């Protein structure tokens, strides 16, 4: 369920991010995407974009819940009809920003979370995160262990 909501969030976040970059570059003749990214994009900008992207629709949430409890969800709550419109907007904005992005790139980035992870894949991710945490918390012990 959460993977579908994450995919919806990523779609909305990417659209909001590209819109913000486009707005910044469009209204200033001296502003480039690289300059905006280095000098103007900060935590406050990111929080604003996250806030816009967190507006996952009721229809998207219903679609996610349908997989978990189909007997409690009635009607069609899928958000698949939104996907082409948002994808087109992302691609159009990317072209205006002169990014080398094609539809397959955007599709892969956004839809990467639609495939449900298996228990083994989730366990592997958890193990990797645990190892990284251990290395960050106890770096000197790790160095001694490697010797």
pTM: 0.58
| Mean pLDDT of the chain, nearest integer | 78
Secondary structure of 82-147 in the HEC alphabet? HHHHHHHHHHHHHHHCCCCCCHHHHHHHHHCCCCCCCHHHHHHHHHHHHHHHHHHHCHHHHHHHHC
| pLDDT confidence bin for 81, thresholds 50/70/90 | low
pLDDT tens digit sequence for 92-113: 888 888 888 888 887 777 766 5
C-alpha 42, offset from chain centre: 17
Q: Are 117 and 109 spatial neighbours (Cβ–Cβ below 8 Å)? A: no
Mean pLDDT of the region 22-40: 86
| pLDDT confidence bin for 22, thresholds 50/70/90 | confident
Q: Report the pLDDT value the prediction gives residue 42, as an integer from 0 to 100.
A: 92
* CA gap 87, 85 in Å, rounded: 5
Q: Are 17 and 110 spatial neighbours (Cβ–Cβ below 8 Å)? A: no
Q: Report the pLDDT value the prediction gives residue 79, as an integer from 0 to 100.
A: 47
Residue 12 burial class via C-beta count within 10 angstroms: exposed 0-12, middle 13-18, buried 19 and up: buried
| pLDDT confidence bin for 75, thresholds 50/70/90 | low
**33 contact partners, CB below 8 Å, separation of at least 6:** 21, 25, 97, 98, 99
* CA gap 118, 80 in Å, rounded: 23
Q: Report the pLDDT value the prediction gives residue 115, as an integer from 0 to 100.
A: 60
Mean pLDDT of the region 52-72: 76
């Amino acid at each position: 369920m959460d993977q579908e909501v994450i995919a919806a969030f990523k779609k909305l976040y990417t659209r909001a991010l590209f819109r913000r970059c486009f707005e910044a570059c469009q209204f200033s003749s001296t502003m480039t995407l690289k300059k905006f990214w280095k000098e103007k994009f900060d935590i406050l900008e990111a929080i604003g974009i996250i806030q816009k992207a967190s507006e996952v629709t009721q229809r998207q949430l219903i679609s996610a819940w349908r997989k978990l409890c189909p007997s409690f969800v009635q009607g069609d709550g899928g958000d698949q009809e939104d996907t082409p419109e948002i994808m087109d907007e992302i691609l159009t904005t990317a072209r205006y920003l002169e990014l080398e992005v094609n539809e397959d790139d955007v599709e892969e980035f956004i839809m990467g979370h639609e495939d449900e992870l298996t228990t083994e894949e989730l366990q592997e991710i958890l193990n990797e995160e645990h190892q990284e945490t251990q290395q960050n918390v106890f770096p000197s012990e790790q160095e001694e262990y490697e010797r």
